[in-house]
């Protein structure tokens, strides 16, 4: 999953909320908030770490518990089996089934399908947590625990919203598509979406992804995300590692070749030096520029949170544009190099450099691959005249995604934000990659929107993950309002 980070205070987030006075729907949600917190506590206690084979039974358990709750509040549920996963030769484990649920099937009503996941990232207290990550802990208006923000808390906020709106009459048909393997790549999900295209998804008008945060304390709606082309550069030299005392100064060193190649990819200001890489980037319009002016985002907060004193860009607008709507290149590491403590004097026989390009709408991964590999790096290596062998491969080619903000569900979401928080929503993009959004759009041809209720400082993959009480309860109101507003558009 992706996230944007800045430091915020609970008091400022509480100040944003100004719900409609005497709204019976909101009162119903407030009256049940202790029940909602208890349910989150029960869900957090299930250690549904999808990356750990020893906890696969708990991933299966969380899917069953979620199913039971959906049935309890009146939904119909199908558990779609995905088969097995091979962890290592001869070791296979069952993949957790995907929940396909629905509330209502009225052909006169619009149908919205929500996506979420119930698996979590690994977490241990010894990693630096101040509390047990699997015991929900309330402190200073925050609910700490693994999965509170990513994504159990957001899924539960949605389910509580559905349950609450049903008390007043559900004006839309609701479908749920909930998985248990998102944190490890959503094994088997794309084929299932394709398989269910003409059945479960046949009457779906809109798709909403719940697994997203806001940019700041101000509620945000996400309408775009960058893609990701991830590359390996492999340089081979000698048959084995060599001692620098015996061979230094006598061989062409693979590490030197690799460092040279990596150093030619971008300049000191972050501009990608690969010819043609910017050719397909959409031009910036005046209308788009206006979107960035009113976004709540403080560079001072970002500097304080990251410890970075100087960024590549000095204004809020420039920084966010280069985070969201322009491509970027990052070098991630070198495999095969000596990285331990001490002073090992080795010349590695083979090294693999790893870098990625976050591409933006209209950039095609296959075109980027050609620009990087055959048009650039192979020529650069030839110019170096090294006898070593080089191979470049693109191991990930995830597409970028960009939605039309004028679609009905975006208008309904903006109205819902205004109703609950009495502010206009920030329209934001994600700098990271959200493959499921692009998969839904490409396979199903449906309108996709990211409407999450996570906070900007929730630390969803880190220590002390949390969701604020404010976001959890007011987020429930947001989903409930969205369900009521959608039929009007």
Q: Smallest Cα–Cα separation from 33: which of 468, 484, 458, 416?
A: 468
Alpha-carbon distance of 387 to 384, in angstroms, equals 9
Spatial contact of 472 and 466, defined as CB atoms under 8 Å apart? no
Q: Is the dihedral angle over the CA atoms 260, 262, 266, 267 positive or is it negative?
A: negative
∠ Cα 238 241 242 (to 5°): 85
DSSP type of residue 374:
I
How far is the C-alpha of 147 from the C-alpha of 150, rounded, in Å?
5
Radius of gyration of the chain (CA): 24
249: burial class by Cβ within 10 Å (0-12, 13-18, 19+)?
Answer: exposed
SS (H, E, C) 92-148: EEECCCEEEEEECCCCCCCEEEEEEECCECCCCHHHCCCCCCCCCEEECCEEECCCC
Burial group, residue 476, by CB count within 10 angstroms (0-12, 13-18, 19+): buried
| Nearest partner of 94 among 191, 1, 187, judged by Cα | 187
**Euclidean distance between CA atoms 98 and 119, whole angstroms:** 11
Quick one: which of 359, 420, 348 has its CA closest to 394?
359
Pairing of strands 98-103, 350-358: unpaired
Q: What angle do CA 155, 472, 38 make, to 5 degrees?
A: 80
Place of tokens 């020893």: 54
The residues annotated with a catalytic role in the active site are 119, 182
**468, containing H or E segment:** strand 466-468
């Amino acid at each position: 999953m992706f996230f944007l980070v800045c430091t915020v205070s609970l008091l400022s987030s509480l100040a944003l909320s100004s719900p409609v006075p005497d709204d019976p729907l909101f009162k119903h949600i407030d009256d049940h908030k202790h029940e909602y917190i208890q349910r989150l506590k029960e869900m957090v206690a299930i250690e549904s770490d999808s990356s750990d084979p020893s906890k696969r039974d708990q991933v299966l358990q969380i899917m069953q518990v979620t199913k039971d709750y959906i049935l309890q509040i009146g939904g119909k549920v199908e558990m779609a089996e995905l088969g097995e996963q091979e962890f290592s030769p001869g070791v296979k484990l069952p993949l957790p089934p995907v929940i396909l649920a629905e509330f209502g099937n009225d052909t006169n009503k619009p149908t919205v399908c929500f996506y979420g996941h119930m698996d979590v990232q690994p977490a241990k207290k010894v990693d630096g947590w101040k509390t047990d990550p699997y015991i929900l802990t309330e402190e200073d208006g925050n609910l700490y625990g693994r999965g509170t923000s990513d994504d159990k808390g957001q899924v539960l906020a949605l389910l509580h919203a559905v349950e609450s709106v049903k008390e007043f009459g559900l004006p839309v048909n609701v479908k749920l598509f909930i998985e248990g393997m998102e944190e490890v790549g959503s094994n088997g999900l794309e084929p299932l979406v394709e398989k269910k295209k003409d059945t479960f998804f046949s009457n779906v008008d809109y798709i909403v992804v719940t697994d997203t945060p806001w940019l700041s304390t101000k509620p945000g709606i996400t309408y775009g995300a960058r893609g990701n082309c991830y590359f390996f550069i492999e340089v081979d030299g000698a048959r084995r590692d060599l001692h620098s005392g015996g061979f230094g100064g006598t061989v062409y060193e693979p590490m030197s070749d690799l460092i040279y190649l990596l150093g030619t990819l971008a300049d000191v200001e972050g501009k990608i030096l690969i010819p043609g890489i910017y050719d397909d980037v959409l031009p910036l319009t005046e209308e788009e520029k206006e979107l960035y002016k009113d976004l709540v985002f403080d560079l001072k907060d970002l500097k304080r949170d990251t410890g970075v004193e100087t960024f590549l860009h000095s204004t809020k607008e420039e920084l966010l544009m280069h985070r969201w709507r322009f491509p970027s290149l990052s070098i991630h590491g070198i495999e095969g190099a000596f990285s331990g403590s001490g002073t090992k004097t080795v010349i590695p026989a083979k090294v693999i450099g790893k870098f990625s390009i976050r591409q933006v709408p209209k950039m095609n991964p296959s075109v980027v691959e050609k620009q990087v590999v055959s048009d650039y790096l192979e020529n650069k290596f030839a110019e170096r005249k090294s006898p070593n062998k080089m191979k470049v491969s693109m191991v990930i080619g995830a597409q970028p995604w960009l939605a039309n903000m004028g679609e009905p569900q975006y208008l309904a979401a903006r109205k819902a934000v205004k109703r609950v928080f009495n502010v206009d929503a920030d329209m934001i993009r994600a700098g990271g990659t959200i493959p499921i959004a692009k998969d839904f759009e490409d396979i199903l041809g449906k309108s996709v929107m990211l409407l999450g209720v996570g906070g900007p400082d929730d630390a969803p993959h880190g220590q002390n993950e949390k969701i604020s009480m404010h976001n959890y309860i007011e987020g429930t109101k947001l989903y409930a309002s969205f369900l009521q507003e959608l039929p009007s558009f």
